[in-house]
Amino acid sequence: MIQLLPRLRAFGRSLTGVQDQADDLVQQTVEKGLRNIDSYRPGTRLDSWLFRIMRNTWIDGHRARRPTVTLDDVDIISPLIGEDGRYVTETRLYLAQVRQAMDRLPEDQRTVLMLVCVEGLSYREVAHALEIPEGTVMSRLSRGRLALATLLDTVPRPQAQSRAQTQGLTR
């Protein structure tokens, strides 16, 4: 379970939008998972089981409270020795724009995108974790990818991206 914490934090961030609330959600998820470990079926994926607990916990909490306005968390910039500062800065700015675009997607599309594209779960695993048909996973993923691409087409990519392309790192 400890090895899954970074992935749970990332998924929690995609649901809540801010890291401090995501960390609280991870803590609640782990607590519920440990409390209900007897309902976990050996042979199934622990990560899918925990993602489902997290999603359900978030939905329960989201429904229970009124929307609140929170300040975006600020990433702490650590010094990177030997890195091109301009490239790092442009990449972080673009990542922030991607996060903002992801936040603009409907929750169902954002959830499926995170589980498939970031967490690497299969369509079947996502369908199981979210308790929806595989076809629904595929359609939400398709719509989410198109919407995200449309949102990001309006955002200029960092110039460092072209450097990565010339080095054969992308596409």
Amino acid at position 112, single letter: V
Q: Is the pLDDT of residue 27 over 90?
A: yes
Q: Averaged over 6-16, what is the pLDDT?
A: 89
Mean pLDDT score of the chain:
80
pLDDT of residue 87: 80
Q: What is the pTM of this model?
A: 0.52
Q: Domains along the chain?
A: 1-71 (1.10.1740), 83-171 (1.10.10.10)
Q: Is the pLDDT of residue 155 over 60?
A: no
